[in-house]
Structure formats: C-alpha cells, structure tokens
A and B are shown apart, each in its own frame.
Chain A
Amino acid sequence: MNSMLKSSVSIARALKGIIRIIGKNNKIKIGFCIFLALLIVGFASPYINRLRIGDKRPHDLGVGRRWEQPSIKFPLGTDDYGRDIFGMLLVGIMYSLSIGLLAGAIATLIAVTMGFISGYKGGFVDHTLRTFTDTLLVIPLWPIYMAIATYIPKLPLESVALLLGIFSWPGAARVIRAQVLSLKERAFVKLAKLNMLNDLEIVFLELLPNIAPYIIIGFINSVMGAIFAETGLRLIGIGPPLLPTLGYLLSITIGVGMLSVRPYVVAAVVGVLALIFISLNLINIGLEEEFNPRLKKVTGL
C-alpha cells in the first residue's frame, strides 16, 4: 500500500515537472499549441462535417457534384467523384493522428519493457534481448509493411497501428536501456537497495521518474515514425482502402490530377501534414533542450 502511494506521488511529481517545462520552453509551447489545435480539429471533424454536409461522409461518392469549385460549403471543392475534399482533410487528421498515437503508445510500451529488463537485469537476459533488438534494427521495415499491406488488404485502424507499433520500438529501447545502465549504478539506487526495496519498487520509484523525459521523446519519435510510414505507404497506393487518412487523401488528390488542375488543394493537404511533423518535432527538440541544458543555445529561435 505504502509503495503504491509512493509511486503515485513520484509519478505526480514527474507529471508536474513536465507541465512546468511545457510552460517554460517556447518551442514546446508553440509545438504543443499547434498539435493540440490539430487534435481538436481532427477529433471534432465528425461533428463539423455533420453540420456542413449532413449525414453523408465526406469520402462518399457524390457528396457534391463533380469538380465543384471551392465554395463556402466545399472550401476546397470536390474531386472527380464528387468527394468533399475539405471534409476528408478534417477526417484525415483524425485518422492519421489516431494511428500515430496508438502505434506510438504500443511501441513505447514495448520499448520501455524491453529497455528496463535489458538494462536492469543485465547478463544473459540483456545479451539475448540486445541481439534480438539489433537484428530487428537491420531488417528493412518498409518492405515488410508493404508485404503485409498487400496480402491483408482490409486491416482496421487498430491493426495498422499495432503493426506499425510492433516493429518500431528498437530505437527507443536502446536509448532507455543505456539510461537504465547508467542510472542503476548511481548512489540513490544503491541506497534504495540497502533500504530493502525490491526490483519493481526500484524500477517504478527510482528509475522510471528519472527516465520519463527519454520515454516521452521516444514516444513522440514513434508517433512521427508511424505517421511517416502510414502516409508514405498510402501515397504509393498501398494500404487498407477504407481508412481515409491524410496519406490516402494525398494519393487520391494527386491521382485525380489536382497537381495540374488545382495545385492549392495538394498544397493544403501537404501543409497540414507538414504541420503535424513540425509541431511534434518542436516539442521533441524543446524537451531535449530542457533535459540537456547544454543544447539550449543551439538555435536562435
């Protein structure tokens, strides 16, 4: 009971520290605001679209007439099949972010587990897990994604996220392992051992709060990696056709010839995608600066 109380106290302390840092660093602040705005717009998209076009989904054929010019009802016009591009853009944000966040969470969970076991236990366990991690690191992932997507064409969102998550943890696991290795020799961990804390207590009370920043950075990296992979695959026409993500929208706008007819439509989709990556990256770089103060003066921003 006592240890549960202690662990919740230490987690609360870590969270408080993170909130303080968000307010302090300008890069994190800007990145966080952009990302939050995208998140809100994305997840409000079903309601926004209901107000705009009623019960139809924006990617249904014939929501509007074919090739409608941009108007108040269809701010980005419609395509060859009368699909509502602005509505698809909003929904696409939701789908792309969901896949990214879910895959990131899965990858982080695996990375943390692997990194902690590997770094804390050491010896044979560490050696085996490290060989496994290193092998996974050199296996080219894109071909595997492509193969799976080609032969299991109808994957739901959760499975796509699971797939992307399962393969993208090794990088973060390495970083966490290295941190655990250096932390476990420090005096405060030795002290905890002398105080008869068991392994789980040491991991959750002493190590986890200290490694939290690296876990968050790893999580954001995985989120970006998952969105990067999903969008790229969809762009070249691979992936479940029923998931209207931003990558899918980009591939169909290019596919129907928007590049030459209405370049601003492609530019809008590309711009939203760029915003996702820029905001996440700003948060990451801000966090790294905060936890490694030497890097603070790297940019003139």
Chain B
Amino acid sequence: MKPLHKYLIKRVLAYVATLYGAVTAIFFLFRLIPGNPIEAFIGQIMATQYTEAELARSLVEQYKKEFGLEGDLFTQYVNYLKQLLRGNFGVSLLGFPRPAQVLILQSLPWTIGLLGLSAVISWTLGVVLGAFTAWKRESKIGGALAGLAIVFSQIPYYIVAVLLVLTFSYMLGWLPARGAYDPRLSPSLSIQFIASVVVHGTLPALSLVLTQAFGWFLSTRYLTISLLGEDFLIYAEAKGIKPSRLFKRYLFRNILLPQVTGLGISLGFMIGGQIVMETIFAYPGIGYLFSRALGMLDYNLISGILILQSFVVLTANLILDLIYPLIDPRVRYYE
C-alpha cells in the first residue's frame, strides 16, 4: 500500500472513532441528568385536555415511543444511533411535534450569517494588518496596534458587547440592542428587511470583530516576526528579489498555514453559536436556541445541537489535514 493511502485510511478511521466517541459521550451525559421531561410534558397535557387514566397511560407509551425513550438506556442508545444515521435527531419538546433538526435548521442561518461574517472579517483584518505591519518594522503603527491588541484581545467579547450596548443603544440611541430584525417586519428579501437585519447585527458583530481581530493580529505579528530572522528570507533578499514578491511569496505563504488552520477551527466552533452573545442580544441563532432547549430539558434538541457542532469541528479538522499540501507544498502525508 502506498504511504499516502495508508495515511488517508488512518486519518479517516481516527475521524470516525472520535466522532463516535463524541456522539456517545453527548448521548449519555445528558440522559444521566436527573429529571423526567416527558412526565412533566404529559402532566401538562393531561391537566388541560385528558382526564382518563387509561388514555393517559397509552399516551405516555405513545410519547415515549415518539421521543425515543422506550426500553432501557442501551436500547435507547442503539435506536438513537439508527435514527441519527438517517439524519433524524428525534422529536423536539421545545417545538413539539416538530423534529429537532427542523428547529436547528431555522436557527442556523442567523448564527452562520452573524458569526461567520464576523469571523471572516476579523481574520482578514487581523492577518493582513498583522503580517504587513510586522513586515514594515520601522513604522510606529504596528507597535501601537500591538499595544492596543494586548489590551483588547483578552477582554471577553461579552464585556465589549455590554460596553457597546451601553454606548450606542442607551447613551446615543443609534442602534437597537435586541433581536435580529424589526419584529414589525416579516422576513422577506425587501430592502427594508435587509436594512433592518444589518442594523440589528451591527452591535453583536462589532463586539466579536473588535476582540477577534486583535487576537488574529497579535498571533500573526508574532509569527511574522519570528519568521523575519530566518535564513531563507535573508538569502532571498540577498538574491535581489523584489520586496513585494518577498512579502507575498516568501513570508505571507508561511504565515497562511497556521492561520488558515486557526480560521477553520474557529469556523467549526462557530456552529454551536455564541451562547452568551446571542442571549445578551436575544439573537435567534443556535446559541439562543440551545439555552431555551436546556431550560426545557429537551434531550433531542440539546444532543442534536451538540452532535452537529462536534461533527462540524471534527470535519473541519479533517478537511484541513487533507488540504494542507495545497497550502504548504512542504507537507507530505507520509512523513
């Protein structure tokens, strides 16, 4: 067998094993929490609609079947895995009788739109500025920005969010502090609606970009400065290669490898939503959905969101490992 094939098989097997481990851990972790949401749910229905004990008992059986809570824990686990392979996360309690994946799919665009856009903007800003200001060592701007970055990059984004809300919503009254769009408008592709989405997304996005961009800036600057002393750069410079080419072909490509990895991982983690951020702004994304699901102990929805997130993070890692050679030709699979 070729070393490349061997590597690929090993990597994919490890991926499947980790994914299976994560699914199993998530399934059992939340089933072991005490509390019986179905009983509470049925009690609620009985109090309002049914009174006959016979009917109630059959209803309990019916619901247990529907929510995948039949038999002992192991049977439930096997059934859950079977359903999962068909892409079914099970009925949700929060959005009964809709299945969990439908609720997740409704929230996903908001999270991806807000967090994805902020992540890409902050990455681009941070990496380009970080590399360029480190390259132009004599300029004072780089040092000043780095000083700011040290102060800002580790301040939690939610603190920045509170400060922004304080300033722009309460003191100046320029931007809305809650929601994803004006509730008087119905979702459509009209200019009015899109404008409302942009206005509502500005503060949450700004608080993410402010903290994340500085983080990327700092790590890129560190990377660049530690590369600047390398022999291959001095040699290339001595050979008379133009500075712009030196920057683009010799320096920037070396910086891209670790930074692209970082971006991939942060995009993967994005799927779980920023729970605190979305709750502060009452933004209808995955994080907000999760905190509501948790309040109702909606097993299927909770597990569904977590499994989706683990799946995306692991898959992002896998894809990154597979495309490394395209970004960095020095990487060989079989080494």
Query: A: which residues have CB within 8 A of B?
Result: 27, 131, 134-135, 138-140, 142-144, 146-147, 150-151, 224, 228, 231-233, 235-236, 250, 254, 259-260, 263, 266-267, 270, 273-274, 277-278, 280-282, 285, 292, 294-295, 297-301
Contact = CB atoms under 8 A, between A and B. Distances in A.
A150 B294 contact: yes
Going nearest first, the 6 A-B pairs with the smallest beta carbon separation are: A300-B143, A281-B154, A299-B146, A236-B279, A232-B276, A301-B147
Interface residues of B, number: 58
A282 B159 contact: no
Given A147-B33, A151-B33, A259-B169, 18 more contacts: A138-B314, A139-B25, A139-B26, A140-B309, A143-B305, A146-B291, A150-B295, A228-B156, A232-B158, A235-B276, A263-B170, A263-B171, A267-B163, A270-B163, A281-B154, A294-B226, A294-B229, A299-B147
Interface string B271-284: 01001100110000
A142 B272 contact: yes
Nearest to B33: A151
Nearest to B312: A138
B226 A282 contact: no
A150 B272 CA distance: 18
A298 B146 contact: yes
Interface in B179-208: none
A164 B286 CA distance: 23
Best-buried of B33, B166, B269, B290 by chain A (most CB within 10 Å): B166
Contacts of B25: 135, 139
25 contacts: A131-B18, A135-B22, A135-B25, A138-B22, A139-B26, A140-B272, A140-B310, A143-B306, A146-B290, A146-B294, A147-B294, A147-B302, A232-B156, A232-B158, A236-B276, A236-B279, A267-B163, A270-B159, A273-B156, A277-B154, A295-B222, A298-B221, A299-B143, A299-B146, A301-B147
Contacts, number: 132
Contacts of A300: 140, 142-144, 146-147
A126 to B, nearest CB: 15
A151 B146 CA distance: 43
Contacts of B234: none
Interface in B135-156: 137, 140, 142-144, 146-147, 150-151, 153-156
Contact of A266 (B166, B226, B290): B166
